[in-house]
Amino acid sequence: MYQLWLTLFNPKLINYLENSNQLNIPEQELHRHVGAHSNKKWAQLCVKSVGQDRIFDKTKWNWPIDVESVNAELKKGPLVVLMAQDPFNNHEADTVDQLSTITNDFVVLSGNARYFLDPKKHICYMPYWYLTQKLKSAPIQITGSPRPYTLSSLNGKSKYHRIENFVKLREKSYFKQLLFGMHNNFDIAQCKLETQIEFWNSDIIDQFESLLDSSELQQGYINDHSTVHPAYTDAYINYVTETSIRTTEIFCSEKTWKPFISGQFGIWLSNPGHVEFLRAIGLDVFDDVFADHAYDREPNLNQRIDQIHMLIDSIMTTDLTSAYQDTLARRQANVDLFYSDDFENLLTAQCEDYQL
């Protein structure tokens, strides 16, 4: 079966295209906000960029570069390829290799923070969803007031890691005390293609499928990028189940940033090294409250989920009210840092290296 997957589908690209397949470039979230920032290099790169649909032949299994399309774009000037709004499982490097056989006048915008930590030629780290969240929401003055929920988690598209997380977490005695949302937006074929075979557990999937028509799951799918939901206003902790969990990348969608701008604590089920990246760029992840987020160093997805649940087990036996009040200044510092020019300049520094 694994060989069949490799034959029919490119394992690099069986990924999580939740945004880039839905919208044309002018309709992409960030492009709606660039007008007021046209003097900034990251905004200029966004305006100049073309989507992968313009240069890849998606009818073929390995998404080869369409040379004719690339040459047509190059007639307009340097080629800027937008691959920052979704995780591409390191396909940015493949794209660079292919484009380098045609031209040297190009840059690929990537949302993979591994390229922020370890820059590569022709790849520019673009914090797409950080910029989008910063530009579409205003900073808040947080408080230490008690919140009715210890932990919240919203799960839209039913990806495998979210399914395993839900199936295991719902067995906990405290599950009904959580503000937890899980949708029935499930396609088993797509789910299997997105999931590394070594992590797939058929028993977990069977349990989830038995619940698809139950009241435990919300119907349909809502892609909400706001922070007005009670998950962000009424809970101490936001448990983020990110888009990507692969070891090849560190991808921060809008979900990563929401706990910070909402003045919350955060736990992240994401790529290994995700929390380490947030820590490295100066955000307070409250290691003293969350046992250094030790789960973040676990490469095995199933074990990473179990370690997070052990952490939540411990948290649910404590009263977070005092910790929440005691960290008021630190949580406000996260909000202030998030909206600061210095933070934006740090995350968009690579954009300054490219002349259009």
**Predicted pLDDT at 4:** 38
pLDDT of residue 220 exceeding 80, the answer is no
Question: Please, which pLDDT band fits residue 339 given cuts at 50, 70 and 90?
Answer: very high
User: Two tokens at 282?
Assistant: 């100066």
**Predicted pLDDT at 52:** 83
pLDDT of residue 260 exceeding 90, the answer is yes
Regarding the domain delimited by 149-338, which CATH topology (the fold level of the hierarchy) does it fall under?
Rossmann fold (3.40.50)
Tell me how far the alpha carbon of residue 240 is from its chain's centroid: 9
Q: At 249, is the secondary structure helix, strand, or coil?
A: coil
pLDDT of residue 12 exceeding 70, the answer is no
Question: Please, which pLDDT band fits residue 28 given cuts at 50, 70 and 90?
Answer: low
Q: What is the pLDDT of residues 104-113, one digit of tens each?
A: 999 999 999 9
Residue type for 16, please?
Y
- Which carries the bigger pLDDT value, residue 22 or residue 78? 78
Question: Please, which pLDDT band fits residue 278 given cuts at 50, 70 and 90?
Answer: very high
Which residues belong to CATH 3.40.50 in the chain?
149-338
pLDDT of residue 10 exceeding 50, the answer is no
Tell me how far the alpha carbon of residue 90 is from its chain's centroid: 14
Which residue, 178, 172, 169, 182, is CA-closest to 150?
178
Question: Please, which pLDDT band fits residue 7 given cuts at 50, 70 and 90?
Answer: very low
First to last CA, the chain: 46
pLDDT of residue 204 exceeding 80, the answer is yes
Question: Please, which pLDDT band fits residue 224 given cuts at 50, 70 and 90?
Answer: confident
The per-residue pLDDT of the chain, averaged, comes to 90
Q: What is the pLDDT of residues 82-108, one digit of tens each?
A: 999 999 988 999 999 999 999 999 999
The CA R_g of the chain, rounded to the nearest whole Å, is 21
Percent of the chain with pLDDT over 90: 79
Name the strands in the sheet holding 235-241, side by side, starting at the edge strand that comes first in the sequence: 179-185, 149-157, 235-241, 265-269
User: Two tokens at 285?
Assistant: 């992840």
Which residue, 300, 232, 228, is CA-closest to 266?
232
Q: At 34, is the secondary structure helix, strand, or coil?
A: coil
Question: Under a CB-based contact definition with an 8 Å cutoff, are residues 252 and 174 in contact?
Answer: no
- Which carries the bigger pLDDT value, residue 57 or residue 179? 179
Up-side HSE of residue 22: CA atoms within 13 Å toward CB?
9
Question: Under a CB-based contact definition with an 8 Å cutoff, are residues 232 and 152 in contact?
Answer: yes
Strand pairing report for 79-83 and 106-110:
parallel
pLDDT of residue 184 exceeding 70, the answer is yes
Q: Is 305 exposed, middle or buried (0-12, 13-18, 19+ CB in 10 A)?
A: buried
- Residues 6+ away with beta carbon under 8 Å from 246: 87, 89, 196, 271
- Distance between CA 114 and CA 28 in Å, rounded? 23
Percent of the chain with pLDDT over 70: 91
Residue type for 193, please?
L
- Which carries the bigger pLDDT value, residue 310 or residue 185? 310
**Predicted pLDDT at 113:** 98
Question: Under a CB-based contact definition with an 8 Å cutoff, are residues 89 and 17 in contact?
Answer: no
Question: Please, which pLDDT band fits residue 13 given cuts at 50, 70 and 90?
Answer: very low
- Distance between CA 262 and CA 260 in Å, rounded? 5
- Distance between CA 91 and CA 137 in Å, rounded? 31
Residue type for 174, please?
Y
Other C-beta atoms within 10 Å of 194: how many? 21
Question: Please, which pLDDT band fits residue 19 given cuts at 50, 70 and 90?
Answer: low
User: Two tokens at 37?
Assistant: 């920032």
**pTM: predicted TM-score of the whole model, two decimal places:** 0.92
Residue type for 140, please?
I
pLDDT of residue 26 exceeding 60, the answer is no
Q: What is the pLDDT of residues 283-324, one digit of tens each?
A: 999 999 999 999 999 999 999 999 999 999 999 999 899 999
CA angle 265, 118, 112 (to 5 degrees): 55
Which residue, 189, 271, 243, 255, is CA-closest to 17?
243
pLDDT of residue 234 exceeding 80, the answer is yes
Question: Under a CB-based contact definition with an 8 Å cutoff, are residues 194 and 244 in contact?
Answer: no
